[in-house]
Amino acid sequence: MSVGGFLSLALGCFLLVLAVAPHAAHGLSSSSTLGVGSGAVAPSATGGICASSVTIHGYQCQEFDVVTQDGYILNVLRIPEGRAEGGGGGNKQPILIQHGVLVDGMIWLLNPPEQDLPLILADNGFDVWMANSRGTRFSRRHTSLDPANPDFWNWSWDELAAFDIPAVFEFIHGQTGKKIDYVGHSLGTLTGLASISEGRLVDKLRSVALLGPVTYLSHMTTPLGVVLAKNSVDQIAMSLGLAEFNLGAKPLADLVQDFCHFPGVDCFNLLAAFTGSNCCLNDSTIDLFLKNEPQSSSVKNMVHLGQLFRGGVLAKYDYGNASSNAAHYGDVRPPVYNLSNIPRDLPIFLSYGGQDALSDKGDVQQQLESLKLHDAGKLTVQFIEYYAHADFVMGVNAKDIVFGPLLSFFKNQQ
Ligand SMILES: *[C@@H]1O[C@H](CO)[C@@H](O)[C@H](O)[C@H]1NC(C)=O
Ligand SMILES: *[C@@H]1O[C@H](CO)[C@@H](O)[C@H](O)[C@H]1NC(C)=O
Ligand SMILES: *[C@@H]1O[C@H](CO)[C@@H](O)[C@H](O)[C@H]1NC(C)=O
Ligand SMILES: *[C@@H]1O[C@H](CO)[C@@H](O)[C@H](O)[C@H]1NC(C)=O
């Protein structure tokens, strides 16, 4: 693999890490009419992830457009049943799988099918849903804004928590009438928890699994991540302003190459430098990953993640000065996401790795501390000493090491 390839993979995984922060949700009505503000409907076309990575393995797959309250049109997939079933479907437990930052839902489908979480869940009787966050290739649509317009990129993970996840929940609930299980990796854990802490999702949520969880980032050790978070994100923000954050295109692609000259950043092993030493990735899977990722995010989102690293506080986007914050929030400081608001009886499965440079042990300890009043019987914690960030999604043995216990956890909720 080329240096650039490793770099992209590393950055992609970095973004994955950042994938879970819930914040608020009004989402769509579950009306089935297509239109703004109504989470609608109709499997779209034949392209996309269903065709490339699901139906080729013999599974049914549908794609939907879900419109967020702020007008983004998200591509959402459904795998309604296992490979061996004959269309009976019906009455299955819905489960939503949410990817992290700088990647899309495709990352869950890069291993051989018997190793991929969505397909494993479908074969075990779940009604599987996968979302693609705003800005990623299949979700670059809006009811009025074009991605070429900078206003399209005026959001951070606050909006993923406030609008994307709640809209998808609303939609799935409208389709199934059931409470939903949630699986997040990386930023998908942060956005999920942020949303729940603000009381969104809660009435439609059954239980939660957090893989390579990211909430606090102060201990993040990855040199590239630290360099990015400390300096470069602000530089990028200043030079690009409100814009798309696309590592695959100039000027960022050049900037990324420059990082290789920072002390401690070894571009010949950037994946490790960024995510920690992943024990268990298959070369074929890495090649596929590089063909599919990274995906775009917004500069504002990256700045917000940098704030998380520096501030050590789980708070909304900081506009940089008291007057600007006051204008947005009615307070000189951005509001904090209070994880103590997470219902104490919510079943949670949390799995973290000893080699994960993004979801660092120290930060996960801080997160667990914030859950110390959680009902003891409702919190399952798994620690895998030799796992790093990407192993949780793509490890060749994740099926046994992580997905097996995760499956037992969800089955126990029935
Ligand atoms: C690695 O991926 C290739 C291609 O999908 C597959 O044939 C092979 O079995 C995989 N290896 C392991 C150990 O899973
Ligand atoms: C971006 O959105 C915020 C509200 O979320 C708004 O206050 C701000 O004016 C917007 N910025 C631009 C440049 O449109
Ligand atoms: C506060 O920040 C905004 C941009 O977010 C800027 O326009 C404004 O001039 C700043 N105000 C002060 C007092 O620094
Ligand atoms: C967080 O929430 C808990 C319980 O809901 C509450 O007791 C605590 O005061 C809150 N903390 C902050 C900083 O608001």
Of all protein residues, the one whose alpha carbon is nearest to atom 9 of ligand 3 is 324
Q: Which of 338, 341, 370, 371 to mutate to test the pocket of ligand 4 (most atoms within 8 A of CB)?
A: 338
Give all domains of the chain, ordered by start, each with its CATH number.
Answer: 7-412 (3.40.50.1820)
Residue 195 backbone class (left: φ over 0; alpha: ψ -120 to 50; beta: rest): alpha
Of all protein residues, the one whose alpha carbon is nearest to atom 10 of ligand 1 is 282
Cα distance between residue 197 and residue 21, in whole Å: 9
Residues 31 and 113: beta-carbon distance below 8 Å: no
In the chain, DSSP finds a helix count (H) and a strand count (E) of: 17, 11
Cα distance between residue 364 and residue 239, in whole Å: 33
Q: How far is CA 304 from the centre of its chain?
A: 15
Alpha carbon distance, N-terminus to C-terminus of the chain = 44
* Cα–ligand 1 centroid distance for 399 (angstroms): 13
Q: Considering every ligand atom, which ligand is closest to the CA of 53?
A: 1
Q: Report the alpha-carbon angle 74-78-83, nearest 5.
A: 155
186 carries an active-site annotation: yes
Backbone angles phi, psi at 123, to 5 degrees: -70, -20
331 carries an active-site annotation: no
What distances in angstroms separate CA 402 from CA 16, 94, 110, 360, one per listed residue? 17, 20, 16, 18
Tens of each residue's pLDDT in the chain, 414 residues: 333 333 333 343 343 333 222 222 222 222 222 222 333 333 444 469 999 999 999 999 999 999 999 999 999 999 999 998 876 667 899 999 999 988 899 999 999 999 999 999 999 999 999 999 999 999 999 999 999 999 999 999 999 999 999 999 999 999 999 999 999 999 999 999 999 999 999 999 999 999 999 877 766 666 556 666 666 566 666 677 788 888 777 777 776 667 666 666 655 455 555 667 788 998 888 888 878 888 899 989 988 988 887 777 899 999 989 999 999 999 999 999 998 899 999 999 999 999 888 888 888 988 898 888 999 999 999 999 999 999 999 999 999 999 999 999 999 997
Residue 306 backbone class (left: φ over 0; alpha: ψ -120 to 50; beta: rest): alpha
| b/e sequence 185-210, b meaning 16+ C-beta within 10 Å | bbbbbbbbbbbbbbebbbebbbbbbb
* Cα–ligand 1 centroid distance for 334 (angstroms): 47
Q: Considering every ligand atom, which ligand is closest to the CA of 283?
A: 1
Residues 138 and 49: beta-carbon distance below 8 Å: yes
* Cα–ligand 2 centroid distance for 193 (angstroms): 24
Query: DSSP letters of 66-119?
Result: EE-TTSEEEEEEEE-S-TT--S---SPEEEEEE--TT--GGGGG-S-GGG-HHH
Give the pair of three-digit tokens for residue 277.
């030493």
Cα distance between residue 193 and residue 270, in whole Å: 29
* Cα–ligand 2 centroid distance for 329 (angstroms): 13
Cα distance between residue 224 and residue 35, in whole Å: 42
Q: Considering every ligand atom, which ligand is closest to the CA of 114?
A: 1
Closest CA to 16 of 208, 186, 152, 233: 186
Give the pair of three-digit tokens for residue 142.
């809006």
- Indicate the angle between helix axes 187-197 and 165-176, nearest 10 degrees: 80
Q: Considering every ligand atom, which ligand is closest to the CA of 328?
A: 2
* Cα–ligand 3 centroid distance for 238 (angstroms): 13
**Choosing from 356, 360, 363, 391, which is the catalytic residue?**
356
The reported pTM is 0.87
Q: Which of 238, 299, 324, 333 to mutate to test the pocket of ligand 3 (most atoms within 8 A of CB)?
A: 324
Burial of 111 (0-12, 13-18, 19+ CB in 10 A): buried
Residues 194 and 21: beta-carbon distance below 8 Å: yes
Residues 9 and 295: beta-carbon distance below 8 Å: no
Of all protein residues, the one whose alpha carbon is nearest to atom 14 of ligand 3 is 321
Biggest CA pair distance of the chain? 60
Give the pair of three-digit tokens for residue 357.
């440079």
Q: Which of 340, 345, 346 to mutate to test the pocket of ligand 4 (most atoms within 8 A of CB)?
A: 340
3-state DSSP assignment of residue 389: coil
Residues 170 and 39: beta-carbon distance below 8 Å: yes
356 carries an active-site annotation: yes
Identify the residues whose C-beta falls under 6 Å from ligand 1: 112, 282, 284-285, 396
